[in-house]
Amino acid sequence: MGMFGFTDNYQDRSTQEGYQFEFYCERCGNGYTSSFKRSVTNFGGKLLRMGGDLVGGEWGRRASELGWDASWMRDGTRGPAWDKALQGAVEEIRPHFHQCHRCGEWVCGPVCWNDERGVCVNCAPKLDQEIVGMQARAQVQQLDEKIRQVDWTQGTVYGQTAVGRCPSCANDTGGGKYCQHCGTPLAAATEASRFCGQCGTKVSPNGMFCTGCGSATT
Q: What is the pLDDT of residue 193?
A: 55
For residue 67, is it within any domain?
yes
For residue 218, is it within any domain?
no
Asked whether the predicted pLDDT for residue 83 surpasses 80, the reply is yes
Q: Could you give the residue ranges of the DSSP H alpha helices within the chain? A: 40-55, 57-64, 70-71, 80-93, 109-112, 127-148, 187-190
Q: What order of strands is seen across the sheet that includes strand 21-24? A: 10-12, 21-24, 31-33
Amino acid identity of residue 112, one-letter, is C
Give how many domains the chain has, as a whole number: 1
Q: Which helix (H) or strand (E) holds 18?
A: strand 18-19
Write the pLDDT tens digit of every residue in 106-140.
Answer: 999 889 999 999 999 999 999 998 999 999 999 99
Q: What is the pLDDT of residue 179?
A: 85
For residue 204, is it within any domain?
no
Stretch 25-50: mean pLDDT:
74
SS3 content of the chain, % helix, strand, coil (to 5): 40, 15, 45
Q: What is the pLDDT of residue 212?
A: 81
For residue 79, is it within any domain?
yes
The closest alpha carbon to 211, from 189, 195, 193, belongs to 195
For residue 109, is it within any domain?
yes
Contact 20, 13 (CB under 8 A): yes
Residues 134-162 as b/e (b if ≥16 CB within 10 A, e otherwise) read eeeeeeeeeeeeeeeeeeeeeeebeeeee
Q: What is the pLDDT of residue 184?
A: 83
For residue 137, is it within any domain?
no
Dihedral in degrees, nearest 10, Cα atoms 206, 211, 214, 218: -20
Contact 173, 189 (CB under 8 A): no
48-52, 84-88, 109-113: least confident range:
48-52
For residue 107, is it within any domain?
yes
Amino acid identity of residue 154, one-letter, is Q
Contacts of range 110-119, beta carbons closer than 8 Å, 24 or more positions apart? 111/25, 111/27, 111/28, 111/30, 112/25, 112/27, 112/28
What predicted TM-score, i.e. pTM, was given to this entire model? 0.49
Identify the three-state secondary structure at position 30.
coil
- Residues 99, 104: Cα–Cα separation, whole Å: 6
Write the pLDDT tens digit of every residue in 57-73.
Answer: 554 455 455 444 444 44
Stretch 69-84: mean pLDDT:
62
For residue 175, is it within any domain?
no
* Per-range mean pLDDT, top range of 9-23, 57-71, 153-167, 195-209: 9-23
Q: Residue 92: which domain range?
A: 10-127
140 vs 16, more confident: 140
| Pairing label, strands 37-38, 113-114 | unpaired
What Rg do the C-alpha atoms of the chain give, in angstroms? 39
